[in-house]
Amino acid sequence: MQLNPREIQVGVKNLRTISKNRVLVQCVSKVDKEKFLDAINKKSDLLQVSSKKRRNPNFPLKYIPNEIDDQEILQIFKEQNPEIGSEKLWEETKI
């Protein structure tokens, strides 16, 4: 199967081969990404398309006194970062 980005008028920023016979295609915009996905889905049933999933950031905390428990640490972060207002996000946070 061949798919020419010029024919479907899609801007491809980067194309890279990755492990297990997979190809990473980075499009210029979200609109181009959607056009590219539609073209692949129309042309082939054999190919599987997946988008990159974002992971939650992890970072180490050092020099925290043993007297402070995990819930207090989480509460301190919540107070220091009011712009992150989603309660669901705070419920999913693990320490």
Q: What is the pLDDT of residues 48-95, one digit of tens each?
A: 888 877 777 788 888 989 999 988 988 888 888 887 777 777 777 777
Contact 84, 93 (CB under 8 A): no
Q: Helix, strand, coil: what percent of the chain each, to 5?
A: 35, 15, 55
**Residue count (the chain):** 95
CA–CA separation, 25 and 14 (whole Å): 6
CA–CA separation, 7 and 14 (whole Å): 17
Whole-model pTM above 0.75?
no
